[in-house]
Chain A
Amino acid sequence: MSVTVQSQERRAAIERARRASRLVENALRFRELGLLAALAVVVAVTTIDNPRFLSAQSIRDLLLNASIVALLTVGQTLVVITRNVDLSVGSVLGLTAFVTGNLFVDHPGLPIVAALLVGILIGVACGAINGGITAVGRVPSLVVTLGTLYVFRGIDYAFAGGRQVNAENLPDSLLSLGSGRVLGVPYLAIVTVAVVAVAAWALRSYRWGRELYAIGSNPDAAVLAGVPVGRRVLAAFVASGAVAGLAGALWTARFGTVDAAAGTGFELQVIAAVVVGGVAIFGGSGTVVGAALGALLLSTIGSALVVLRVPAFWLQAIAGALLLGAIALDRLIGLRLASALRQRSVRDGG
């Protein structure tokens, strides 16, 4: 009987601990809720000033504008979670955008799938180079992808040779992928949401997904736990490249007119969105949903400032301030959370 009393007490203790940990989970989910709240505030304030901001066309534009950056954040999140970074995404996007555009100018009869496949394959090749050098050569990814940022862009310029792909030379089927919609929702947004959903589900449900977090959270412990660190990091970079390649093909479909400079500087926007979206820059935590919401928030703020007739000069300053604010908030929540967890640990231990 004393045994049952003891185990009852233990159950109660476990129950108490579990209730407290729900608090923690909420705090983590708070990030995504917070992003949605911020989004709501931005939209509300802007709509008060100009009701047309909430029209169907305007919302479609917002989604279209955010789609490509949001797509890129998916791959970037996979990489950042492992305590790495991929600075070459803008260049990969530019390269694939031009190559697919050029391909369709030469062969207008190709099916749309070919565009996506070509984009993804080029992206995979680029990602394999990034990941291979990082994982096998044990070189910091910051340096590797800074190098490939220039190399891929250089190849892009050399291939383009000053040419430009024009929308009028592209088949309508490809362009309709960029501007068409189903039930009022742009294709681009659907593709992005689908990729985000698949990545979010995979990161949660598969061993390799959890292992990416483990690598970023404590690389040494990951090795000791038998995680194939090199292979996982390589895979994360390949995924990032594939997503960037897909985004490049979609870029061509959306804008039609493409030159070798497409997507220049995009990597910084993507990383900003990832950080605003709550992915820890030193790896180990964060979600693709949060990162995609970060991209949506940043691009919505950009549009809102235009509607509010804030001079364009301010856009970057405000985006930067938001980034700093997000990091400050993260740090604050992190400290609060850590002290809450410590207290609970002490209580449980006692």
Chain B
Amino acid sequence: MAQADGERSAPPADGPAGRPLLALEAATKSFGSVRALQDASIELFAGEAHALVGENGAGKSTLVKILAGVHQPDAGRLLLDGVEVRLGGPADARAAGVAVIYQEPTLFPDLSVAENIFMGRQPLSHDRLRLRRPPVDGIASLACMLDRRIDGRELRRRVEALMERLGVPLDPSRPARGLSIADQQIVEIAKALSFEARVIVMDEPTAALSGAEVERLFSVARALRSQGAAVLFVSHRLDEVFALCQRVTVMRDGRRVFSGPLEGLDRDDLVRRMVGRELAAMYPKEAADAGEVALSVRRLTREGVFTDVSFEVRHGEIVGLAGLVGAGRSEVARAIFGIDRRDAGEVVVDGRPLPPASPTSAMAAGVGYVPEDRRAQGLVMDLSIARNVSLASLGRLRRGPFISAGGERQLAADWAARLRLKLARFSDPAWSLSGGNQQKLVLAKWLARSPSVLIVDEPTRGIDVATKAEVHRLLSDLAGQGVAVLMISSELPEVLGMADRVLVMHEGRLRAELPRDQATEERVMFAATGSAGGVAEAAE
């Protein structure tokens, strides 16, 4: 409340007495042409749980990765106890006492819990001998020095002590394989404690946890806090933020827009601070005359991922699918296209139901799917540009048993011209293109099939502004030609600018359906964060 809404780089609000344990000051970080962090700051105090919230792409992950030593900021300082430090890698961060608990930890599945915690740092027998019984004569001391065996009893004792401290009954000698994600996080936290971490960053730790597991994690986090650690809690779930944290930092577009105590704030205050960008004029979608229903999804369910999702997309319409990362949007798209199986529900394209789990039938029915991760799923990076374009249209290019090389080149040249693809030669590999041009290439691959339904997942992620505008113009043109477009996007302005209708998902369910004239950033965010207000407003 103390902050003026228009104020951008807010000065640190009054913290608890004393110096912050860890402070990031005015950090800037760019990836290519995308500026992920701009002048971002955060202060973490000992004995305090600090929440970091913001929309998708607000720069939270980048900030966490800077604290973890994974990324180095282009500008700005990191202060530990008031002294500037440089974290060149994860090892430096660990040495500085910063531990990061990721949503899905990477453990050694074959090794025991104890070994996972102390790998490379197992207590050795000679340490114990030195401590308990100072060697007297030369030979004994030499023997002690040489005894570099692992002290299994001491290892076990230390792990049990850690588990006791965390209040979690995990057996130190069981293998990590089969541990639930919650228990894997506990192992990571125990590891952090074992090297006396004073700053513990939890990056979306509760996304995959059940209610009881969240409660247990929170009691562990509270215990850490009371023992003097600083906890940074990154989460989309605002209830949890209020349940656990004392202070909050809100980020938007790579900047800090608010930092201060949580007391006196409510969810709506946070949501308002998270949104509030102006719509740029670069979203050219014009209101379309919606035609027949092209894609109809009825009660689609995949257990544990999404539940009872129903919607329709008409010819000539762009429907935006919004929601926070992990809400199940991409998973719905994958199930529609048949990459993942579905447990219940049906998908109907132009009046004909699609068989489950068959991308081939989906393609035959005229569905195109541009996946989220173009490097891993959208393109064959080592194949030439021409071959990538023709990959989904090989049937049409066949001359007898062979693929017509001339036809392939012509197809590629045709689409390259239409999409204004910037390339040197069609025989160059796909990886030689810039990110934006790679995205156009994936689109070209599907457009070459003239689909009647096109699903695009994060179509403009990580590409520059000019190309972004071109992709938007292209999608708009396609809709104008009668293609039904389902667009998943984490960028709210993009969704609001492009979509005729906005669907909002929250934790695997469709929470709101907003027509273009009613869709505002706040409404979408309310629904996406599961706020009561958002659900009530869902048009049915």
Q: Residues on A close to B: CB < 8 A?
A: 7, 10, 13-14, 17-18, 20-21, 24-25, 205-207, 210-211, 213-214, 216-218, 220-222, 224-227, 280, 284-285, 337-342, 344-346, 348-350
Q: Which of A21, A211, A216, A341 is the one whose CB lies under 8 Å from B173? A: A21
With a cutoff of 8 Å between Cβ atoms, the chain B residues found around residue A341 in the complex are 174-175, 177-179
B164 interface residue, CB < 8 Å from A? yes
Cα A341 to Cα B177 with chains together (Å): 7
Hey, which chain A residues are within 8 Å of B213, CB to CB?
349
Binds A, one of B108-116, B385-393, B413-421: B108-116
Contact for B108 among A284, A342, A350, CB less than 8 A? A284
- Within 8 Å of chain A (Cβ to Cβ): is B149? yes
**Interchain CB contact under 8 A, B119 and A225:** yes
Write the chain A residue with the least CB distance to B108: A217
Contact A222 B180 (CB under 8 A): no
Instruction: For the complex formed, measure the closest distance between the CB of A84 and the CB atoms of chain B, giving whole angstroms.
Output: 15
CB proximity of A220 to chain B, nearest CB, Å:
6
B173 and A220 within 8 A (CB): no
| Interfacial chain A residues near B148, Cβ < 8 Å | 206-207
CA distance A211 to B163 in the complex (A): 23
B206-233 contact mask (Cβ, 8 Å, vs A): 1 or 0: 0000001100100000000000000000
List 8 additional contacts besides A14-B171, A18-B171, A25-B173; criterion CB under 8 Å: A10-B167, A13-B169, A17-B169, A206-B150, A218-B108, A224-B90, A227-B119, A349-B216
Judging by beta carbons under 8 Å apart, are A211 and B119 in contact? Answer: yes
Which single member of B110, B170, B216 contacts A280 (CB below 8 Å)?
B110
Residue from the list A210, A340, A350 in contact with B119, Cβ < 8 A:
A210
- Sorted from nearest, which 5 A-B pairs have the closest CB atoms? A341-B178, A284-B110, A13-B169, A17-B171, A217-B108
User: Is B182 within 8 A of A221, CB to CB?
Assistant: no
For window 238-296 of B, CB contacts with A under 8 Å fall at none
Q: Is B427 an interface residue (CB 8 A)?
A: no
With a cutoff of 8 Å between Cβ atoms, the chain B residues found around residue A214 in the complex are: 108, 111, 115, 119-120
Q: Which residues of A contact B107 (CB under 8 A)?
A: 218, 221
Instruction: Mark B377-391 against chain A: 1 for CB-CB distance below 8 A, else 0.
Output: 000000000000000
Q: Report the minimum CB–CB distance from B120 to chain A (whole Å).
A: 5
Complex formed: what's the CA distance from A221 to B102 in Å? Answer: 13
Min C-beta distance of B183 to chain A, whole Å: 6
The distance from the CB of A344 to the nearest CB of chain B, in whole angstroms, is: 8
Partner of A349, one of B106, B115, B183: B183
Cβ–Cβ contact A213 & B108, under 8 A: yes
Partner of B175, one of A24, A207, A224: A24
Answer whether residue B365 sits at the interface, using C-beta atoms and an 8 A cutoff: no
> What are the residues of chain B within 8 A of A21 when measuring CB–CB?
171, 173-174
Given contacts A207-B120, A211-B119, A349-B213, A10 and B169 within 8 Å (CB-CB):
yes
B433 within 8 A of A: no
Question: Which residues of B lie under 8 Å from residue A10 when comparing CB positions?
Answer: 164, 167, 169
Is B122 among interface residues, defined by CB-CB distance under 8 A? yes
Contacts of A206 in B (CB 8 A): 148-150
B167 contact set on A, CB distance < 8 A: 10
The reply on B465 being an interface residue by CB < 8 A is no
A143-B233 Cα distance, complex, nearest whole Å? 46
Residues of B within 8 A of A222 (CB): 108, 119
A256 → B minimal CB distance (Å): 40
Contact between A345 and B183, CB atoms less than 8 A apart:
yes
Q: Which residue of A has the minimal Cβ distance to B149?
A: A205
Between A and B, 19 residue pairs with Cβ closer than 8 Å are A14-B163, A14-B169, A20-B171, A205-B149, A205-B150, A207-B148, A210-B150, A214-B111, A218-B107, A218-B108, A218-B109, A222-B119, A285-B110, A340-B178, A341-B178, A341-B179, A342-B178, A344-B178, A348-B169
- A301 to B397 Cα, complex, angstroms: 57
Known pairs A10-B164, A221-B107, A349-B212; A207 contacts B150 (CB<8 A)? yes
Give which listed residue, B122, B173, B212, contacts A18 with CB less than 8 A. Answer: B173
Task: Determine if A213 and B111 form an interchain contact, defined as CB atoms under 8 angstroms apart.
Answer: yes
Q: Nearest Cβ distance between residue A338 and chain B, in whole angstroms?
A: 5
- Taking CB atoms, residues of chain B closer than 8 Å to A13 are 169
Known: A207-B120, A211-B120. A221 touches B150 (CB 8 A): no
If A207-B148, A338-B178, A345-B179 touch, whether A220 touches B106 (CB-CB below 8 Å) is yes
B300 to chain A, nearest CB (A): 27
B91 interface residue (CB < 8 Å to A): yes
With contacts A21-B173, A205-B149, A213-B111 taken as known, whether A346 is within 8 angstroms of B180 at the C-beta atoms is yes
Q: How far is the CA of A350 from the CA of B213 in the complex (A)?
A: 8
Q: Are A221 and B212 in contact (CB under 8 A)?
A: no
Complex-state Cα separation, A80 to B441, whole angstroms: 41
Q: Known contacts A14-B169, A205-B149, A207-B122; is A217 also within 8 Å of B110 by CB?
A: yes
Query: Shortest distance in angstroms between B150's beta carbon and chain A's nearest beta carbon?
Result: 6
For residue B469, CB closer than 8 A to chain A, the reply is no
Residue B339 is within 8 A (CB to CB) of chain A in the complex: no
Task: Please indicate the chain B residues that have their CB under 8 angstroms from the CB of A348 in the complex.
Answer: 169-171, 183
Whether A345 and B180, one on each chain, are in contact in the complex, defined by CB atoms closer than 8 angstroms, is: yes
Residues of chain B within 8 A (CB-CB) of A17 are 169-171, 174
The one of A225, A338, A344, A345 in contact with B120, judged by C-beta atoms closer than 8 angstroms, is A225
Q: How far is the CB of A54 from chain B (nearest CB, A)?
A: 38
Residues in B whose Cβ lies below 8 Å from that of A25: 173
Closest Cβ of chain A to B308, distance in Å, is 25
Task: Determine the distance from Cα of A207 to Cα of B122 in the docked complex, in whole angstroms.
Answer: 7
Given A224-B106, A341-B177, A349-B212; A217-B170 close (CB under 8 Å): no
Give the shortest distance, in Å, between A217 (CB) and chain B (any CB): 4
Q: Which residue of A lies closest to B151 (CB)?
A: A205
CB distance from A223 to the nearest CB of B (A): 9
Chain A CB count within 10 A is highest, among B124, B149, B175, B183, for B175
Q: Which of B91, B119, B183, B213 has the most CB of A within 10 A?
A: B119
Roughly how many angstroms separate A217 CA and B106 CA in the complex, as a whole number?
Answer: 10
Q: Write the chain B residue with the least CB distance to A205.
A: B149
Closest beta carbon of chain A to B88's beta carbon, Å: 14
Inside 8 A of B91's CB, which chain A residues have their CB? 226
When C-beta atoms are compared, the residue in chain B nearest to A224 turns out to be: B90
Residues of B within 8 Å of A338, CB to CB, are 177-178
- Complex-state Cα separation, A346 to B120, whole angstroms: 29
By a CB distance below 8 angstroms, the chain B residues around A207 are: 120, 122, 124, 148, 150
> From B150, which residue of chain A is reached at the shortest CB distance?
A205
Please indicate the chain A residues that have their CB under 8 angstroms from the CB of B150 in the complex.
Answer: 205-207, 210
B158 → A minimal CB distance (Å): 15
Chain B residues near A210 (CB-CB < 8 A) = 111, 115, 119, 122, 150
B193 CB to closest chain A CB, in angstroms? 15
CA of A226 to CA of B119, assembled, Å = 8
Residue in contact with B180 in the complex, picked from A24, A218, A340, A349, CB distance below 8 Å:
A349
Q: Which chain B residues border A345 with CB–CB below 8 Å?
A: 178-180, 183
B residues less than 8 Å from A226 (CB atoms): 91, 120-121
- Nearest A residue to B115, CB-CB: A210
A residues within 8 A CB of B183? 345, 348-349
Q: Give min CB distance, A16 to chain B, whole Å.
A: 8
A285 to B175, CA, bound (A): 11
Taken together as a complex, chains A and B put the C-alpha atoms of A222 and B150 apart, in Å, by 18
**How far in angstroms is the closest Cβ of chain A from B147?**
10
- Complexed CA–CA distance, A338 and B109 (Å): 10
A280 surroundings in chain B (CB, below 8 A): 110
B150, B163, B177, B213: most-surrounded residue (chain A CB, <10 A): B177
